[in-house]
Amino acid sequence: MSTETNTPASAAPSSPAASPGGSGGPGANRGPGGNRGPGGNRGPGGNRGPGGNRGPGGNRGPGGNRGPGGNRGPGGNRGPGGNRGPGGNRGPRRGGRRDEPEKPDDGIFEKVVFINRCAKVVKGGRRFSFSALVVAGDKKGKVGVGYGKANEVPESIRKGNEKARKELESISLKGDTIPHEVLGEFDGGKVLLRPATTGTGIIAGGGVRAVLEAAGVQNVLTKSLGSNNHNAVVYATLDGLRQLKTYEDYKRLRS
């Protein structure tokens, strides 16, 4: 008795060369280069909805105002100023400058024209000394010039003032101006002085103005024609004022 086993044709093992390119069936083609298919689309864009809006802006309310400004009151004033007293002076400062006694007003006009500093080089550094050119006068026809030297500026000015007061000399004036034109010279300085009408003022500058103000001249025209050195200009102006003579002076000389 013989037994026959029928093996279906589809169950037979398939060889790798059964299909061109090793395809697994219709549709499972990887394509040239291992492509998975025509794009593998999941759907028409995969949209979750019309924008996913949460609402019309999510507004919390009309601004969230806390109230009309939150005022605390009408200014909160503490009182009428709170004054501590009449000044509360503590007294003179420690280590400060000593208050110099006020000089009595004797009617003498003083003006510092120029302060010069001189440096002397020594082994330990430099030592400075100062010189001050000072003009003094009573503004009524008397004027003097002083020159002081010291190691400090205030001391040099004080010495200059003392010398200027000692050398006051009278000048001939005609009212508030000078009686005639004059040319003053000293060393390299030359100063021309001319009388002027009332309201002109002192047309001068620097040392010339200082000398004329101290002498009491109010209207005059001036011009510096020589050196610009302060000492030369001041002493040239003083030399010009010494040359002034009035009509009475000439009349006295002739008689």
Note the pLDDT of residue 18.
41
Note the pLDDT of residue 17.
42
pLDDT tens track for 6-42: 444 444 444 444 444 444 444 445 545 544 555 545 5
Mean pLDDT on 73-90: 60
Q: Which residues contact 42 (CB under 8 A, 6 or more apart)?
A: none
- Phi and psi of 55, rounded to 5°? 155, -175
3-state secondary structure of 157: helix
Mean pLDDT on 125-138: 95
Q: Which residue would you say has higher pLDDT here, 69 or 12? A: 69
User: Given pLDDT bands bounded at 50, 70 and 90, which one contains residue 120?
Assistant: very high
Q: Report the share of the chain in percent with pLDDT over 70.
A: 59
User: Given pLDDT bands bounded at 50, 70 and 90, which one contains residue 143?
Assistant: very high
Task: Report the predicted TM-score, pTM, of the whole model to 2 decimal places.
Answer: 0.59
Note the pLDDT of residue 85.
60
Q: What is the mean pLDDT of the chain?
A: 77
Mean pLDDT on 179-194: 95
> How many Å apart are CA 116 and CA 133, to the nearest integer?
8
User: Given pLDDT bands bounded at 50, 70 and 90, which one contains residue 253?
Assistant: confident
Note the pLDDT of residue 107.
81
Q: By CB neighbour count within 10 A (0-12 exposed, 13-18 middle, 19+ buried), where does 160 fall?
A: buried
> How many Å apart are CA 219 and CA 221, to the nearest integer?
7
Which CATH fold topology does 109-254 show? Ribosomal Protein S5; domain 2 (3.30.230)
For residue 47, pLDDT beyond 90: no
Mean pLDDT on 240-250: 92
